[in-house]
Structure 1
């Protein structure tokens, strides 16, 4: 655990230094463009954030990924304090978690079953630089995940399947321009992190530390690549991974995305997600102010990323597989 905390602090410190340097590197170039007239053309400097930043709410859904479930639910963004160039906010979600599809485990061996309700909340602070060419933010919060379990997808016969409860604390740093975006995050399990799922497998949560770098191909079409390191008490999923993402803003407030990840524990995992938010930046309104639709301004009310409690499993120590002659399934003795 101490090693995980040291790694978390190290990554957070590195990310903070990287983000802090942006205004003097990339940010300065953007500032020069703004002086040339870009900011004036967009009308960004004339926007009142108290008008632009409004509560928004809606729904989100995602297919299972590397340690994450099939899910769908509701969520919302609530500005608590809005300043001339900043916002202090609450971002909260509640999701129904569904069974894994096609007997294909999202946590490596044991399939997730039944329906449970997970929650996620973030308190955060976001602010714009002097010419409003970059948005910077910091956030922290708490996530919970009850998880019902079923059969194994390995051919092993399991008994005494249980429903378990996991939780984590999380923190993130972010920086967004009209072209680039950076997101550093840490997901740190707390409480009981390792539970017996059934007669054969144990399930444990994963500490996850990552950094995503994104690029806006067009204002509505974005791509990102990321690196993450995961570490668990069961010691079978520890290691590095990569994550790629493409997202497209179908209409104002409706966004679809696809994700592709790879690490040695989960191997290649594909997932997709859909999110709709209305009530902010003119979402759902008949008339919209174009100046509010720049990525920098929209980022002030964007949903915080990376908030699922990630779980993996492994065989219980001392388990010996024996094949049953009648069922032709394996069991643990």
Structure 2
């Protein structure tokens, strides 16, 4: 009896081995379906992995984009609105050379609240900003690095004061600066170091009492992506202009939210001894921006967005910052300013 059982098991094992060695085409239908069902998830997993940041063609992702931007007055900066464009000059397999241009209309300050401390900015002038830059991705595309430099101009019309001091001879003056920046952006963090260096006529007479000067500003902003749509940053800056008796540091914070493709709103808070506490807001929209893998469209690829989108974003810190001070000439105030 036991010998019969052992013989049956031996025959069954031999038959199983023979079935396993048969070609797939002649196996029974039931034996073919199981391996195929097991293989399909593996193929899907491989395909999903191929859809990551390494599979992005930058020539498809980095495109010309343009639109408008606006901002409320801040620490030495005006109420403004204008148009801008990001223009790729060359897109390689892992790098982009570009030029970014802005033209803004600068408007009057809020009544009784000077953006430059004493003298009210009044009337409308047009400022410009240009950045020439180069950005590239590291080997595994987890970081984007960039360098940019350019030129900014700011005509500034002036009017009365919010100090109660009567002035005459209000002037429209012209300031300009050279600028440079360094960038580093990952899926979560971003770093932006910048320098704004005025050139030309650094100090100019605004009226019979006050003179104004463009500030040297050097800073570093550190940002964090709370969600793909919401970003926060904190920054440190140092500003100086000896004629204005300005020489100190400041801090600023920012929250920015991407409402939809290319439309971003931001809120800013800064503090320093020269301007004290300043609150401002800004708005930017770019046609054609964020079209590739935008958070509101392709939420299944959130990891790709920050690094790839950073290649075609508009560089920050474009304003010529101005501060004014009482003019003293020959040891006497006010009347010897001209």
User: Normalising TM by the smaller chain, what interval?
Assistant: 0.7 to 0.9
Q: When the two structures are aligned, how many residues end up with a matched partner?
A: 286
The answer to whether structure 1 residue 81 and structure 2 residue 90 are counterparts is yes
CA distance in 1, matches of 2:289, 2:268: 26
- Which one of 141, 144, 151 corresponds to residue 142 of structure 1? 151
Taking a change above 3 Å as real, the CA distance of residues 221 and 197 of structure 1, as seen in their structure-2 partners, is same
| Corresponding position of 2:227 | 218
Q: Pairwise mapping of residues 1-80 of structure 1 onto structure 2 (< 5 A)?
A: 40=49, 43-80=52-89
Q: 2:317 aligns with which of 306, 310, 318?
A: 306
Q: 1:236: how far off?
A: 1.7
Q: What is the CA RMSD across the aligned residues, in angstroms?
A: 2.3
Q: Per-residue deviation at 1:103?
A: 2.1
Q: Does 1:294 align with 2:305?
A: yes
Kindly state the Cα deviation for residue 237 of structure 1 after the two structures are TM-superposed: 1.8
Is contact 1:81–1:89 with CA below 8 Å preserved after alignment? Answer: yes
Equivalent pair of 2:244/2:323 in contact (CA under 8 Å): no
2:258 alignment partner, one of 246, 249, 252? 249
Is this contact kept in 2: 1:204–1:233, CA < 8 A?
Answer: no
- Structure 1 window deviating more from structure 2 (207-216 vs 225-234): it is 225-234
TM-score by length of 1: 0.82
Contact 1:53/1:281 (8 A) holds in 2: no
1-structure distance, mates of 2:134, 2:168: 47
How far 1:139 moved relative to its partner? Answer: 0.2
TM-fit CA distance, 1:229: 0.3
Runs (4 or more) in structure 1 with deviation over 2 Å come to: 39-42, 287-293, 318-322
Distance in structure 2 (CA, Å) of the matches to 1:125 and 1:66: 29
Deviation of 1:99 after TM superposition, in Å, equals 0.1
Larger radius of gyration: 2
Structure 2's unaligned 5+ residue stretches are 1-45
Q: Deviations over 1:80-118 (max 9, x none)?
A: 000000000001000000000122100010010000000
| Equivalent residue number for residue 188 of structure 1 | 197
Where does 1:57-206 land on structure 2 (aligned, <5 Å)?
Answer: 57-206=66-215
Structure-1 separation of matches of 2:176 and 2:241: 14
Specify the SS of the correspondent of 1:76.
Answer: strand
Cα displacement (A) at 1:319: 4.7
Distance in 2, Cα, partners of 1:42 & 1:143: 40
Secondary structure of the 1:136 match is: strand
Cα distance in 2 for partners of 1:311, 1:321 equals 20
For normalisation by structure 2, the TM-score amounts to: 0.81
Tell me how far apart the structure 2 counterparts of residues 77 and 320 of structure 1 sit (CA, whole Å).
47
Q: Which runs of 5+ in 1 are unaligned?
A: 1-36, 323-331
